[in-house]
Amino acid sequence: MPSQDSARPNPSSGTSGAGSDGPRFADAFRRRPATPRRRLLPERRVWTTVAGAAVATAVVALAVPALGRVTFVSDEPAAHVAAVPAPVPAPSRTGPASAAPAAPAASGTPSQGPASAAPPPTPGAPAHIAPPPVNRTPDAPRTPDSGGTREPGAPAQPRPRETTARPAPKPTKKAAPPPAGSLIVGIGSQRCVDVSGGIPVDGLQLQIHDCDGRAPQRWEFRGDGSLRAMGMCMDVAWGSSDDGASIQLARCSGNPAQRFVMSGEGDLVNPQANKCVEVKGRSTGDGSKLQLWRCTGNSNQKWRLG
């Protein structure tokens, strides 16, 4: 059995045999080495490239938030531009027509929806410049129609009622009390003994007049027997006891001609003359005069206190 060494070609013999036909195999192998065997692990250049890309990505990721806080101020006062990422509005379930603003926060600050994370800008692309911030008013609470939850607000304060100022009532004058004394009413005429003209004058003859309750018709029976009105006394003129003597008004003196008594039968009697006061001529007309006459019981001599 031939050995493995004998089966291998002899380089020396091959070389010598091929010397005349062409270049030797060994020379050709030296000129074109065999393809190196591929490695399973990446080489150092690959790791360097991967590390550089990771560092660049980290720098870009950190630079984007930093650029969001940078405010670019130009020479014009109105050009206040902040380089912040524009918020992406969340899709509405009910559509644009029925969408309602979000409910205000409990602390009273305006409610701003959750900011949507903007995609990181690609390297080399221009940064997105957002418009200047606008002061927003607090959003109105959601109504039941919008499907949101309404935050409990402060209880409504009752509105005070509007009252119209009324003028203070004017003080009413109290009615003056009626003058002291009583009315002396004639039974036949239904008129009252009256001071003529309402003016107390010494020697003025008395009359009957429509009853009005005023001071000229108010008479007081005093303890001394006098009958007084308006500070003066009823009097028989000249102290006479004759029939037809005038009944008049005079200053009070306390003499017997100024004493009168009302009897139980309605007679007004002067005790000194023992005669009655009557309406002259049995008249019942307004302004009829009074006189002294003997007591007859006629209606023109009958009186009552009113």
pLDDT at 115: 44
pLDDT at 7: 44
pLDDT at 159: 75
Q: Select the more confidently predicted residue: 179 or 298.
A: 298
Q: CB–CB of 203/177 below 8 Å?
A: no
- Let me know if residue 296 belongs to a domain: yes
Mean of the per-residue pLDDT values of the chain: 74
pLDDT at 100: 42
- Dist CA 274 CA 210 (whole Å): 28
Determine which of 22-31, 34-43, 252-261, 274-283 has the lowest per-residue pLDDT on average: 34-43
Determine which of 8-22, 36-50, 276-290 has the lowest per-residue pLDDT on average: 8-22
Instruction: Report the CATH number that the domain containing residue 286 is assigned in CATH.
Output: 2.80.10.50
pLDDT confidence bin for 143, thresholds 50/70/90: low
- Let me know if residue 230 belongs to a domain: yes
Containing structural domain, residue 247? 184-305
C-alpha distances out from residue 205 to 62, 128, 196, 251, 294, Å: 129, 123, 7, 13, 19
- Let me know if residue 169 belongs to a domain: no
Indicate whether 242 pLDDT > 50: yes
pLDDT at 187: 96
Give the up-direction half-sphere exposure of residue 158: CA atoms within 13 A in the CB hemisphere: 3
231: closest CA among 256, 255, 252? 252
Per the structure, the count of domains in the chain is 1
- Dist CA 299 CA 122 (whole Å): 136
pLDDT at 48: 84
- Let me know if residue 76 belongs to a domain: no
- Let me know if residue 209 belongs to a domain: yes
Indicate whether 171 pLDDT > 60: yes
Q: What is the pLDDT of residues 184-223, one digit of tens each?
A: 999 999 999 999 999 999 999 999 999 999 999 999 999 9
**Other CB atoms within 10 A of residue 230 CB:** 18
Q: Select the more confidently predicted residue: 102 or 53.
A: 53
- Let me know if residue 270 belongs to a domain: yes
**Residue 101, beta-bridge partner list:** none
C-alpha distances out from residue 126 to 3, 58, 59, Å: 77, 18, 16
- Let me know if residue 204 belongs to a domain: yes
**Other CB atoms within 10 A of residue 34 CB:** 6
pLDDT at 28: 60
**Other CB atoms within 10 A of residue 78 CB:** 7
pLDDT at 41: 55
Single pTM value for the model: 0.45
- Let me know if residue 72 belongs to a domain: no
pLDDT above 70 covers what percent of the chain?
55
